[in-house]
Amino acid sequence: MDPVIVYGRALDDNNKQLYAACKRIIGKTLLVRIMDMSAYIGPEGSRFWHGDKELKGIDLCFLRSFGPGSCEQVTKRISMMEHLELSGTLMVNSTYAYRKAKDKYSMICALTSAGLPVPKTHVTEMAHWAHRASQGFKQIVYKPIVGSLGFGSVKFDDPDLAFNAFKTLERWGHPLYVQEYLENPGRDIRALVLGERVLASIYRMAPPGEWKTNVAQGAQTKPVQLSPELEQLAVKSAKALDLFYAGVDLLETEQGPVVIEVNGSPSWQGLQRATGVNVAERLVQFVMDYAKR
């Protein structure tokens, strides 16, 4: 099997570990920057390049990022990953599943359709509509509809401050993805789902005085053994989005557990440090076992 790892603008520690695991378990592996990929479609079939090097015999692709870019650039990259998949390459995660997970709107629709608990959410492009719709929320959270690591998410205690922010975002052409802030114990749960089970899970605890629990923004971590209920919720969340593997974020509230987000190319550095689980090796071995079925 000849694998490639498709990444965005730059390599991170997760992709480096995935590359090392592929080299150990599979053998020759290529790191491919998605914006440097090209393709040909014609009567002779399909061909793909990374820079000037033709990619031949690629039967496994770990899709880690679409990379930054314009709407047209990202659309081209999504289509190229679908093209590669249609050409017979096993994509992990599949292009369509990964795209759904990247888009918070599609993600939360998939979770709701599967009957899973999610925060109350409004989606619009009109500031006045978002302001009026969220009047019933004690606290409001705005999130970029495409984003990760918690960057760009803002919590508002004052609806008028939220409205001013919404007006600015409307002028800049950003859609407004607005959720009710749910009271919680100052932590959430990140569960790393692999296939039909939770590989490992951690509490992510927000820094003092902060509300975000992203490790990239200073959250502390510690391992946690999930209850059967929470483990089942995490696995169902990944399955709702048809993901081979996923980082599922759960929040414990007074009303019960809620699924906050599902990440189709999760970072695992914080989880790995807290639990000692080598996520990259377990992922590669899982995919190899799946491919042999």
Question: What are 57-82's pLDDT values in tens digits?
Answer: 999 999 999 999 999 999 999 999 99
Q: Determine the average pLDDT of the residues in 149-156.
A: 80
- Judge if 107 and 243 occupy the same domain: yes
Residue 44 and residue 87: Cα distance in Å, rounded? 12
State the residue range of the domain holding 11.
3-92
- Judge if 112 and 11 occupy the same domain: no
Q: Determine the average pLDDT of the residues in 176-181.
A: 95
* pTM across the whole model: 0.93
Residue-level pLDDT at 205? 87
CA distances (Å), origin 261, targets 107, 158, 246: 8, 24, 10
Residue 116 and residue 232: Cα distance in Å, rounded? 11
- Judge if 107 and 207 occupy the same domain: yes
As for how many domains the chain has, the answer is: 3
Residue % of the chain over a pLDDT of 70: 99
At which of 155, 180, 205 does a domain end?
180
> Which CATH number do you get for residue 32?
3.40.50.20
**Least reliable range by pLDDT among 49-58, 150-159, 267-276:** 150-159
**Least reliable range by pLDDT among 86-100, 152-166, 224-238:** 152-166
> Which CATH number do you get for residue 175?
3.30.1490.20
Is 21's pLDDT higher than 90?
yes
Is 212's pLDDT higher than 90?
no
Confidence of residue 149 (pLDDT cuts 50, 70, 90): low
- Judge if 206 and 168 occupy the same domain: no
Residue 187 and residue 231: Cα distance in Å, rounded? 17
Residue 102 and residue 263: Cα distance in Å, rounded? 7
> Which CATH number do you get for residue 272?
3.30.470.20
Residue 224 and residue 231: Cα distance in Å, rounded? 11
- Judge if 156 and 240 occupy the same domain: no
- Judge if 105 and 207 occupy the same domain: yes
Of 127-136, 156-165, 281-290, where does the model show the most confidence? 281-290
- Judge if 151 and 270 occupy the same domain: no
Average pLDDT of the residues of the chain: 94
Is 183's pLDDT higher than 90?
no
At which of 161, 180, 199 does a domain end?
180
Confidence of residue 253 (pLDDT cuts 50, 70, 90): very high
Confidence of residue 276 (pLDDT cuts 50, 70, 90): very high
- Judge if 106 and 244 occupy the same domain: yes
CA distances (Å), origin 36, targets 2, 6, 11, 131, 160: 19, 10, 14, 41, 44
- Judge if 176 and 214 occupy the same domain: no
- Judge if 145 and 273 occupy the same domain: no
- Judge if 112 and 127 occupy the same domain: no
At which of 134, 149, 180 does a domain end?
180
- Judge if 154 and 270 occupy the same domain: no
